[in-house]
Structure 1
Amino acid sequence: MKKALIVGASRGIGAALAQDLTDRGESVIALSRSADGLDVTDEQSVKASLARLDGTFDTIIVATGALSAEDHAPEKTLKMLDPAATAAQFAVNATGPMLVLKHALRLLPRDRRSVFAALSARVGSIGDNRLGGWYSYRASKAALNQLVHTAAIEIARSHSQAICVALHPGTVATAFTENYRDRDKVTPKHAAANLLAVIDGLSAADTGGFFDWAGKSIKW
């Protein structure tokens, strides 16, 4: 039986991913801050939570993230930039998923295919940025993409079949996006199905990549 670990599984995309994988017959460990005390901004919390896990996992997905922090909405102009809010965004969106990977690396098998995926966002693409704004969120997701890509290079040396990627789920109708209008929002269940289809189609040659919900590569 395949095993999956979902971090950030209390609601939204994370909960939908955990349910879909369970429905597929996989053994799923679902962790979150609210239910399990796993706070991705606190390394000791990450380390302690993952230390309790044994064996190896075929799939590890980090579905945590924040669009705003420190009670600051996404910046519309440079005047709104706040150092504390920016640092908080980086802690959740960039450093947090990498702390999970750091302490979950021992849980990835060396003898077969495995996938580590962190949820990123298209707005983290520097090459695709035509509107500006959202400084902290854009920058933190761009940093996540670089961290994932860098980790993929290192991990490939010891785990030749491992796939380490950043994934854009599209705009999903959750509490995360409820204050932002978008006619193209999809349900968490729909987003989860899309992401799992992308993950299923990845090969070791895709490691280090940045892909959208349809499996298309996104420019850095």
Structure 2
Amino acid sequence: MGEMFKSAVVIGASGGIGAALVEALAGEGVAVRSFARSFAGADRLDLTDEPSIAAAAASLATPPDVVLVATGLLHEGDDGPEKGIAALDPVWLARQYQVNAIGPVLVAKHFLPAQPRTGRSVFAALSAKVGSIADNRLGGWYGYRASKAALNQLIRSAAIEQRRRNERSIVVALHPGTVDTPLSRPFQANVAADQLFAPGRAAVQLLDVLDGLRPGDSGRLWNWDSTEISP
């Protein structure tokens, strides 16, 4: 990564995967700017507050070669994945869309124009395999599945538009696998030990995926093992 990227932005840098991405990139000599809702001052970025997103993008000193949105919402307080349609709650649904789909595309709105107009650039947002409509065989998890599916479509549209600005740009969604973070912790019981990744390993795997992508791969959802996931 150090030879491919000189500067990076990580959004959601206080989370398990986000912090691991910052560490992995910095370890390769990449200059990293970190943002998170819990950070103060110019480093604060709240996905539900567009002015904070715009201010963060405006604060960049140099165009970032790579922007990584390492955020996601699966459960919060007493709310979590719906087991059936009877559990649907409009407020919780809207909250999931706000964080999982609307927030990341607002980041794209403000950060894609800040990226280089020439040369290889990457914008990647964490999505999820359960957002694949083709892969949905179990049902349930309505809000999370739907909000991630929406994110995948938004990424597709942003990729097409960004390609007109920079023909070597890459805009993708990434599935990190099941990572040992607070987001997945309540749902790890049935995950095989070799399929539960430490954040540091997940970060390296995701950066390896990005290393192998080319402009023709833009607009798609990629798995942690560099295979494409059907939308």
Aligned to 2:225: 214
Establish whether residue 154 from structure 1 lines up as the match of residue 165 from structure 2: no
> In 2, Cα distance between the equivalents of 1:106 and 1:69?
32
Q: Which structure 1 residue ranges, 5 or more long, are not aligned?
A: none
Deviates more, 1:42-51 or 1:159-168: 42-51
Gaps of 5+ in 2: none
SS in 1 for 2:9: strand
- Residue identity matched to 1:125: S
Deviates more, 1:102-111 or 1:66-75: 66-75
For 2:179 and 2:70, how far apart are their aligned partners in 1? 12
The reply to whether residue 90 of structure 1 matches residue 97 of structure 2 is yes
User: Counterpart amino acid of 1:126?
Assistant: I
**Structure 1 contact 166–211 (Cα < 8 Å) conserved:** yes
What displacement does 1:130 show? 0.4
The match for 2:21 among 17, 38, 44 is 17
**What does residue 35 of structure 2 align with?**
31
Aligned counterpart in structure 1 of residue 61 of structure 2, from 54, 58, 61: 54
Q: Give the Cα–Cα distance (whole angstroms) in 1 for the partners of residues 216 and 130 of structure 2.
A: 24
CA distance in 1: counterparts of 2:215 and 2:6, whole angstroms? 18
* Residue number in structure 2 paired with 1:2: 6
Q: Identical aligned pairs, as a percentage?
A: 51
Q: Residues of 2 paired with 1:55 and 1:141: CA distance?
A: 30
Could you tell me how far apart the structure 2 residues matched to 1:73 and 1:105 are? 31
For normalisation by structure 1, the TM-score amounts to 0.97
The TM-score normalised by the length of structure 2 is 0.93
Instruction: Flag as ranges the 4+ runs of structure 1 deviating above 4 A.
Output: none
The answer to whether the 8 A contact 1:69-1:89 is kept is no
Aligned pairs, number: 220
CA root-mean-square deviation: 1.1
Q: Aligned to 2:128, which of 111, 121, 126? A: 121
The alpha-carbon deviation at position 70 of structure 1 amounts to 6.5
Residues of 2 paired with 1:49 and 1:70: CA distance? Answer: 28
Contact 1:210/1:217 (8 A) holds in 2: yes
Question: 1:55-100 CA deviation, whole Å, 9 max, x = no partner?
Answer: 2111100001100246311100101000000000000000111111
Shift of 1:37: 2.8
Aligned CA distance change for structure 1 residues 70 and 89 (closer, same or farther; 3 Å): farther
Q: Deviations over 1:28-49 (max 9, x none)?
A: 0011111133111111111122
